[in-house]
Structures are given as structure tokens and as C-alpha cells.
Amino acid sequence: MVPFYKEALEMILDVESEEETLKVPDVSIVETSAELLYGLIHQRYIITRQGLQQMVDKYESKHFGICPRYYCQSCPVIPCGRSDMPGLETVKLFCPSCLDLYTPPSSRFHNVDGAFFGTTFPHLLFQQYPDLLQNTPTEIYEPRIFGFKVSEKSRSGPRMQWLRLRPSVVEREVESHVQSEGGGEGNDDGEDDESVLGPGGGENNGASGTTKDAKRFG
């Protein structure tokens, strides 16, 4: 995978080659290979026990910045790659609160290969150190017009909002929805559904609406 591996390793270790002549015509080629090799070594080092501990210290000091999302309440982010193969994408920042990826705001990260951190590192880190995760409940912004929630069925409504829901949040949403629908048993005119879902939401009766919403949250 790494061209001129031996020469690149010697450059990283600052070891003089035993051979009198260099086999490559241009030193810059070795420098590029050394950069690639160093990045791949870094990918493997940060998932070792010592490497994880060093990254924990950086995470706690917010060395890599904070999540730009308002509801994450300045949660620290951690570098993450979308691929383990070098040369595909630059590094992204993973937020453990909203479980989303963001482009680093600092330009110094824009040329860092995502493979130098890899896809495993951030998730292994939080498995080994679960205390790093914030216990604050995940909140999701709800768009409103004149105080009324915008229906998901509306053309301007929220899309795929349920993707940000955690299991605990889903359970609370389902329970609250079932309780709100419980008082309307036997009412098949769809009036309650209309008030919650917006125009066009009352085409089906309350029971089928509950089933659809349960599937959507499930």
C-alpha cells in the first residue's frame, strides 16, 4: 500500500540508510510515502490503550472543538474518518451527542486524510470510556408557525427528524402519543389526528394513525 515503504520508514525514524545510494530519483516521493505511512501508523496507534488515553485527554480539553449544533450544548467533538482507505475523504468531526458528522471549521484539518483516524476510533473510544458521554437528554428543534407545530406531512415540514432520536427518546415519544390517543378511542372521524398531524392527517382513523406513528418511531 505504501510505496518505498523501507525508505519511508527510515525517514520517519530518522535513520540513515545502510545503502550508499538511494533507489528513488526524487526525495519528495519518499516524503509523500513517509507522510502516508505515518498517518496509517497513527490510525492504529490511537486505538491502543495508550493512544486512547491520550485522545481522552484531548477530548476532555476540547482540543478538537465543540459541536456547532445548538441543542448539543457545546459537546466536544472527536475526529472520525468515513473510510479506512487513504485518499478518499478528509477527516470529519463526530459528535457523540447528536451522532452526526461535521466538517472541521479550522482549515488545518481540511488537508488531513480521514483514514489517518479511521472509522473505528471514535466509537471504540466511547465504548472504553462511557463516562465521557453526556447524560443530558437529546433535544430536537421543532419548527412552529404562529405557535403551532409544522406537520411532517407539510411540504415545508421537518424531514427525517426521527433519525436523531435515541431509544429512550423514542419510548417517551411513543408513550406520550399512546396516552394522547387513549382518550379518543372510538372516535373515527379523524378530528384528533387533524389537530396533531396538520391538514390531510385525518384521512385515516385514530387507530391506524397510532399504528403508523408507532412504526415511524420504531
Paired residues of 144 in beta bridges: 149
pLDDT band at residue 64, thresholds of 50, 70 and 90? very high
- Cα–Cα separations (whole angstroms), residue 9 to 17, 39, 50, 69, 166: 10, 12, 22, 41, 45
Cα–Cα distances in angstroms (integers) from residue 94 to residues 5, 6, 91, in the given order = 31, 34, 10
Q: What is the pLDDT confidence band of residue 135, given thresholds at 50, 70 and 90?
A: confident
Question: To 10 degrees, what angle do helices 5-13 and 27-45 make?
Answer: 80
Strand-by-strand arrangement of the 78-80 sheet:
78-80, 92-95, 100-102
How many Å apart are CA 99 and CA 82, to the nearest integer?
A: 13
Distance CA 136, CA 39 (A): 35
C-alpha cell recorded at residue 214 = 408507532
Which burial class, exposed, middle or buried, applies to 43 when counting CB atoms under 10 A from its CB (0-12, 13-18, 19+)?
buried
Domain boundaries, the chain: 1-44, 46-139, 161-182+191-217
Q: At residue 91, does pLDDT exceed 80? A: yes
Distances in Å between the Cα of 5 and the Cα atoms of 21, 32, 38 are 16, 11, 11
Dist CA 204 CA 210 (whole Å): 10
What is the arithmetic mean of pLDDT over 65-92? 93
* CB neighbourhood size of 30 (10 A): 19
* Between 180 and 162, the higher pLDDT residue: 180
| Geometric angle at alpha carbon 135, from 129 and 137, rounded to 5° | 140
Q: What is the mean pLDDT of residues 2-27?
A: 71
Is the confidence at residue 81, as pLDDT, over 90?
Answer: yes
Judge if pTM exceeds 0.75. no
Q: What are phi and psi of 105, to 5 degrees?
A: -70, -30
**What pLDDT is recorded for position 193?**
45
Q: 132: which residues sit within 8 A by CB, 6+ positions away?
A: 56, 59, 60, 96, 125, 126
Distance of alpha carbon 58 from alpha carbon 65, whole angstroms: 10
pLDDT at 23: 63
Class of domain 46-139: mainly beta
